Amino acid sequence: MASENQNGPRETRLEPPRSRRILRWAGLAALIVAVAAAATGILGRQQHETEVAQWTQAEAIPTVSVVMPQRGVSGLQLVLPGDVQAWHDAPIYARVNGYLKNWYFDYGARVKTGQLLADIEAPDLDGQLAAAQAKLNAASSEVKVRQAEQDFAKTTYERWRDSPKGVVSVQETQSKKGDYESGTARLNAAQADVSAAKGEVDRLQALESFKRITVPFDGVVTERNTDIGASSMPGAGSAAEAVPCCSASRMCTRCGSSSRCRRRCPPGFRRE
């Protein structure tokens, strides 16, 4: 039998490979980094929540500015832009169809009440007036004819009515009476036609007076939107607006202000 070593049996210890040790240290380092990152995030979130709570508490406290009252300025002055305008400003329009014949005052002229500004030539209106007058004359002549017929019928009826009994028959008397009443009705109708024709003549004569454009009040001619020979029509329009005229004797200033400014102006506020 082989003899054993005098020192007895020896135990051999196996060392792990080098690569395994490196992996172990790397995993340990990664774990430490992860724990550190988690701790940093938790601490940062807690700090943010603390700051938000402090800011909320600070904002919950109302901030009040304290101002000591002082006596204001004795004279309140408020400067506002304004436009100076005439108290009376009237554009004068034509009232008849026609053409501007004459022009007597131009832009900037000072005029008096009733002065003639312009003349309008209105041949259509003149023709209508002549026709209406002719119709009135014809109606007046018709009235004369009907008046003569009515007078004749009246005298005839009175003669038949006052005749002795037995001279004329009752039927003839009634016939003459009917002629008289018919003549009276025709006379009344002719007189109504005369009244209608006279009303038409009066209307056209009133329009004839509008061929003369006169000044409504003392003032200044501010514009001239037409010229000699231009057409004129009743109503508003560039061609019809002959003479815008404004009064220079009394002026007014119009100022625009906000509601806040109006509240600052007490009753009796003096404006200069």
- Give residue-wise pLDDT tens across range 166-186: 777 778 888 888 888 888 898
Provide the pLDDT confidence category of residue 133 given band limits of 50, 70 and 90: very high
Query: What average pLDDT does range 52-70 have in this prediction?
Result: 79
pLDDT, one tens digit per residue, over 15-31 is 556 677 787 787 788 88
pLDDT at 75: 57
d(CA 227, CA 239): 9
d(CA 135, CA 127): 12
* CATH label, 99-121+213-272, candidates 3.40.50.1970, 2.40.50.100, 1.10.760.10, 3.65.10.10: 2.40.50.100
Comparing 106 with 234, the larger pLDDT belongs to: 106
The answer on pLDDT for 137 being more than 90 is yes
Provide the pLDDT confidence category of residue 51 given band limits of 50, 70 and 90: confident
The answer on pLDDT for 86 being more than 80 is no
pLDDT at 245: 56
The class (CATH top level) of 124-210 is: mainly alpha
**Mean pLDDT lowest among 63-77, 175-189, 235-249:** 235-249
Query: What average pLDDT does range 66-91 have in this prediction?
Result: 70
**Mean pLDDT lowest among 162-166, 178-182, 200-204, 213-217:** 162-166
Query: What average pLDDT does range 78-104 have in this prediction?
Result: 76
The answer on pLDDT for 66 being more than 90 is no
pLDDT at 4: 43
Strand pairing class (82-86; 231-232): unpaired
Task: Report the predicted TM-score, pTM, of the whole model to 2 decimal places.
Answer: 0.51
| Dihedrals phi, psi of 70, to nearest 5 degrees | -135, 155
- Cα angle 241, 247, 249; round to 5: 170
Name the residue ranges covered by the structural domains of the chain.
Answer: 99-121+213-272, 124-210
Comparing 195 with 242, the larger pLDDT belongs to: 195
pLDDT at 8: 45
52: tokens are 């938000």
